[in-house]
Structure 1
């Protein structure tokens, strides 16, 4: 099995080393991509004040992803930065974990809309589609909730279709992701990266239906 794993910017830098140890022990082939974290959030703040163009926001946010990605590679010896799909197999053959710095790749192919609705979630989905891989999104909450995530009455949804997710106002994933999951027919899982033991169980086929997660796709059968 091949997994594209998107490491949310909210997990950087505090949880990176613990996740790194999990990735190193995985039985599956892993390709990493990371979010833009606080750097991209600061760009949003600037945009709210100065109203930059969509093109400028899009490419600058992706550059933020590359900056954080390069720092993750500097922290973790076995995580190797790649800038093209062709480099991935060679990194795997050397027993290392590729992390895609996506600016050059996306600048060349430009496959996604230029909008704040498109974030590293959608970029990771496009990459999973191109590599015929499953998508695992690691964020700082357990998954998709029915109701406001801050409400006492919120309920974690373990299985949801992309069609259903289209009608949610706000979730832990970007607004473009459900449409891309439909278009590309990519299977997506969302887990809380603050609990590396859960990620370990998932990647080593020790996961169960009683775990905390959200699966976006067809009905999951254990």
Structure 2
């Protein structure tokens, strides 16, 4: 077990849904030696929500609720592949899964629907929701698994500007240490996670990080 037993939050990008790397990442995640919660992206299910919006003309609040449900669809698909992952929909369920040595796989819709500190809209994607959950669970770190690499020490403002994370992300991150893992992080990910070490590039959140 890691010396720090606080949970690790890992957001698994929806863009990986059709990538051969997905299976390798899932194998690596199962081997993490501490309490772990996975937040899934929306993947093709969220893309369908976005594509249908101009046709069906539903508003952004509705689109956001549908996109969160898309995250659940992706989570259900991942759970069907990995029996080691346990679907959870509350903080108590997350803690219970961790206490039994299980990987918690977040079903986001219930908690997000009941949250008054989440702004509904396309600026708040699964990245921001992962940051929000990291704060709620007092996570030791947040790792975003992406289809692109970023440099170690890259400033948060730069990755926001480049669209690596959504525009609202800095507002939700708070004080949680942030890492981003792309394709170059995968070869060593399993070994690092087994040792309780977070793979990926450490992101500099100063001065965008909020003060305590």
* Deviation larger for 54-63 or 93-102: 93-102
Give unmatched runs, 5+ long, in structure 1.
144-156
1:111-150 alignment to 2 at 5 Å?
A: 111-133=117-139, 134-143=141-150
Q: CA separation in 2, counterparts of 1:110 and 1:206?
A: 33
Q: Secondary structure at the match of 2:114?
A: helix
SS in structure 2 at match of 1:142? coil
1:171 to 153, 163, 169: 163
Contact 1:16 1:72 in 2 (8 A): no
Which stretches in structure 2 are left out of the alignment for 5+ residues? Answer: 208-212
State the match for 1:65 in structure 2: 71
Counterpart for residue 9 of structure 1: 14
- SS of aligned partner of 2:9: strand
Residue number in structure 2 paired with 1:26: 32
Secondary structure (helix, strand or coil) at the match of 1:171 reads coil
Q: 1:124 to 1:212 in 2, by over 3 A?
A: closer
Q: Counterpart in 2 of 1:41? A: 47
* Cα shift readout 1:151-209 (whole Å, capped 9, x = no counterpart): xxxxxx321444x348x53321111112322xx222111101585333224433667xx
TM-score w.r.t. the length of structure 2 is 0.83
1:159 maps to 2:153: yes
Name the TM-score, length of structure 1 as normaliser: 0.80
Are the aligned partners of 1:80 and 1:96 in contact in 2 as well (CA < 8 Å)? yes
Q: Give RMSD over aligned pairs.
A: 2.4
Alignment match of 2:62 (pick from 41, 56, 64): 56
8 A contact 1:140–1:194 mirrored in 2? no
Deviation at 1:50, TM superposition (A): 4.4
The answer (yes or no) to whether the contact 2:131–2:169 under 8 Å persists in 1 is yes
Q: What's the counterpart of residue 182 of structure 2?
A: 192
Aligned to 2:108: 102
Closer, same or farther in 2 for the Cα pair 1:28/1:55, shift >3 Å?
same
Please state how far the C-alpha of 1:215 moved relative to its aligned partner: 1.6
Partner of residue 147, structure 1: none
Give how far 1:64 is off.
Answer: 0.5
| Corresponding residue SS for 1:109 | coil
Match of 2:201 in 1: 213
Superposition deviation, residue 47 in structure 1 = 2.1
Task: Give the match for residue 148 of structure 1.
Answer: none
